[in-house]
Amino acid sequence: MTNLVTSEAAHVDPSNLPVIDHLDFLTRVLLPGEATGGSFSVVEQRARLGCMTPRHLHGRESETFIVLDGALEGWCEGDTTLVQAGTVLHLPAGREHAFRVASGSAHFYNVISPAGFETFFPATGRPVVQTFDGELPVPGPVPPEAAAVLQGVLASLGCELLGMPPFPVG
């Protein structure tokens, strides 16, 4: 069982964290579950228009997106919501959902509760040698061999891919 209480304060200097290209999103795990007693994690991401996730379902985690710059479009079981800088989008556990960058670029935090899913990003992304605020990757399709790896890691985390993104491409 995860200990949901931690007695240690946590301070994070994001400039010291590794930067990962995860499906063309620049990603860094700001606060892993170990720092919160497993109660939540915080992931920071930046991406260009055209970056999106497939439809998927988390068996236990909710995702809350805090948009710092740009806009995201969230999709949850057929309903879409546009969220812009200064607003928040919550996608609950147990509900099919997806999201995409809906502006030229976007910068946002993803608060994942409970923690654990943040391990997905370093497990399936690739480290890059650049600063987090550097050039954004150009979005492209996920190669078939990468999709198989993604599905394997997702299954181990109690998450499943349910289909193509529900958004228009481009």
CA dihedral over 14, 19, 25, 31, signed as positive or negative: negative
CATH of residue 156's domain is 2.60.120.10
Q: Which domain holds residue 85?
A: 14-162
| Residue 159 exposed, middle or buried by CB count within 10 Å (0-12, 13-18, 19+) | buried
Whether residue 21 lies inside any domain: the answer is yes
* pLDDT tens digit sequence for 43-57: 999 999 999 998 999
- The domain total for the chain is 1
* pLDDT tens digit sequence for 51-94: 999 899 999 999 999 999 999 999 999 999 999 999 999 999 99
pTM: 0.92
Query: What values do phi and psi take at 15, rounded to 5?
Result: -65, -20
CA dihedral 169, 154, 113, 78 (to 10 degrees): 40
CA distance 108 to 88: 10
Q: Would you place residue 1 in the very low, low, confident or very high pLDDT band (cuts 50, 70, 90)? A: very low
